[in-house]
Structure 1
Amino acid sequence: MSQMLRAGLAAAWLALASLPVQAAFDGCRALFPQGHVPQLPPGFVHATRPLCFDRFAILYSATSKTPVYAVERLDRHDFEDAPRRKRGRNPFYEEARLPRAERATLDDYRATLPGGQRMDRGHVVPAGDMTEARGFAQSFSLANMVPQVPAANQGPWNRIEQDTRRYIRRARGDVYVITGPVFGPRPARLGPGQVWVPEAMFKLVYDAAGNRAWAHWLPNSADAQVQRPISYEALTRRIGLRLLPGVPQD
């Protein structure tokens, strides 16, 4: 790559980083409830990168090298007569739209934590929500992953994802799903790129037709179990971020 091209790319990323998040999501604003892109409080997350995919959007953190949150807009028609897709041998890929120094890499997820614990490449937007081939492939971007304890990812978290799809299949209209990691004050870090390991995951479900919302909360631990959903207001207090416009019913 020429020095001039490198300089141009660097300038482009600096310009993107200085854009308000709302402006940077212009290409996929329709995925957000009422087009409302959540405002991050000052100092909430540094160096965020908005990423639009075909069927979902991610606010990516170059600090944690994970999503801050990911948003989907789904309805029951998305799952009607949808083929069951199978992943290839290794469909995960590094997100080329991110500067190399900010990407999570395949080497990061091949590594173990200091105690030897292996971590899953945990989807934030589930591959099972993506019924079209292109969206399914995009869901394997490492920008859409967090390090998850295998027992939590493959057990209770998978059940929450399946339960959410079952609800959407019965819903009368659009259902918005916003998912993200929650980090402790001193998160463990994975691999040479130091990808942050969350202490919990949340999944907020908003049924626009009924103006109803609830959230699932799951610790990132081997003994995690599915619990009763919590209210939107309870989630807001826990994460310090209002993800929806207005005040939906719980």
Structure 2
Amino acid sequence: MTRRNLAIGFTTLAILFSGGVQAQGFFDLVKHALPHEKQEYRSGTISQDQALDLYSAQQKLPSFEACADQFPASKPINVASVPPKMKAMALCSDHFAVLYSQTTRTPLIVAERLSAAQLRDAKGEQRTNAFYPDPRIPMEGRAELIDYSKQFPSVDRGHQSPAGDQPTPKAMAQSFALSNMVPQDPDNNRKAWNKVESDVRKFVQRAGGDVFVFTGPLFDKGFETVGVHKVWKPTRLYKLVYDASSQRAWGYVLENKPVNVEKPMDYATFVQTTGLHLLDHMNVAGTAGRG
């Protein structure tokens, strides 16, 4: 099947949340570690054995059981509802959850539960910059370091769960797995997208409780691939924010190119723009700054 036909074929795809709530549209397009651990994760390079040691026994399983709390109401996405052609799998890390596609070789949805306390812990946490292919993913379905090498200089490795959200050395190290990355325009990643991430953190720091964030790529018709293994390059990226205390939600959708950040959109507009119904199982009372 050609890439074009794959994109067209995704028009029948649906994702179900546990509890029976249906979400359609997006897939139409498709505390601190010990001091010695801080040194272990600061090397700048990481072997596959070291990478595997970053994950607990439960996190090594293809299941959201170990990270259900990263989703609103602890209701993860039902991976079994994703069409087989996407070769989807669930991946848990300490502070985020990834719905991953072995077809796109990227995350499809990354979910985080953030709080002011977590971000206080994350402040000043040193970046590892030690990117690595996720050892939990079969080699035939994952991105490799060569896909983002100097041979292909047109993209950044764009974090979906940001490094700036990670409150421990191990969580920071986990955030550099390529399963948490998408090919991102460098200007977009370092300017507009960085501002979106910063704005979300500013909100979380003054919020009254947990804030859930969904982040991921959108693959519109005509998307490109990068690298030896043809990693899918998003045409757009999204971030959806849900404040559990106020039950308000808002989202950002940016083209994957140099752009300016516009005012966030309300949930209804986000759904219309992306096709993502990620909060249909939750009560959404309003949006940022509105009743």
Change (3 A) 1:44 1:185: farther
**1:143-162: CA deviations, max 9, x gaps?**
00000110000001001101
Q: Which residue number corresponds to residue 162 of structure 1?
A: 198
The answer on whether the counterparts of 1:200 and 1:219 sit within 8 Å (CA) in structure 2 is yes
Contact 1:92 1:141 in 2 (8 A): yes
1:111/1:191 contact within 8 Å kept? no
Aligned to 2:100: 60
Give the counterpart letter for 1:66 in structure 2.
T
In structure 2, give the amino acid aligned to 1:30: D
SS of structure 2 residue aligned to 1:87:
coil
In 1, are the aligned partners of 2:147 and 2:229 still within 8 Å (CA)?
yes
Deviations 1:8-66 (A, max 9, x none): xxxxxxxxxxxx98593122111110012235776497210100001100000111111
CA distance in 2 between partners of 1:39 and 1:226 (Å): 32
Kept in 2: contact 1:104–1:195 (CA 8 A): yes
The Cα of 1:111 is off from its aligned counterpart by 5.5
| Paired residues, number | 226
How far does the alpha carbon of each residue in 1:111-149 deviate from its partner, in whole angstroms, 9 at most, with x for none?
A: 556xxx610000000000002111111000000000011
Q: State how 1:101-180 maps to structure 2 within 5 Å.
A: 101-110=140-149, 118-180=154-216
RMSD: 2.1
1:225 corresponds in structure 2 to: 260
1:194 to 224, 227, 230: 230
1: CA distance between counterparts of 2:148 and 2:17?
Answer: 28
Query: What residue number does 2:217 align with?
Result: 181
1:156 maps to amino acid = A
Q: Which residue number corresponds to residue 97 of structure 1? A: 136
* Aligned counterpart, 2:250: 214
Matches of 1:188 and 1:82, distance apart in 2: 34
Provide Cα deviations, 1:56-89, integer angstroms capped at 9, x if missing partner. Answer: 000001111111110000111112354412324x
Task: Please state how far the C-alpha of 1:232 moved relative to its aligned partner.
Answer: 1.4
Structure 1: distance between partners of 2:141 and 2:114: 29
Partner of 1:3: none
Pick from 243, 246, 249 the counterpart of residue 282 of structure 2.
Answer: 246
Q: Identical aligned pairs, as a percentage?
A: 39
How far apart in 2 are the matches of 1:103 and 1:42?
Answer: 18
- What is aligned with 2:68? 29
Q: Would the aligned equivalents of 1:112 and 1:118 in 2 still touch at CA under 8 Å?
A: no
Equivalent residue in structure 1 for 2:239, among 203, 208, 213: 203
Query: Residues 162-219 of structure 1: CA distance to partner in whole angstroms, max 9, x if unpaired?
Result: 1100100000000001101011123110011100010111110100000000001111
Q: In structure 1, how many angstroms separate the alpha carbons of the residues matched to 2:210 and 2:223?
A: 35
CA contact (8 A) 2:250 2:267 kept: yes
Contact 1:38 1:242 in 2 (8 A): no
Specify whether residues 81 and 108 from structure 1 end up closer, same or farther in structure 2 by C-alpha distance, changes over 3 A only: closer
On the 8 A contact 1:160/1:226 being kept in 2, the answer is yes
Q: Is the 8 A contact 1:182 1:199 kept in 2?
A: yes
Equivalent position amino acid for 1:122 in 2: G
TM-score w.r.t. structure 2 length? 0.73
Q: Which residue identity lines up with residue 118 of structure 2 in the other structure? A: D
Instruction: Specify whether residues 63 and 210 from structure 1 end up closer, same or farther in structure 2 by C-alpha distance, changes over 3 A only.
Output: same
- 2:67 and 2:195 mapped to 1: Cα distance? 28
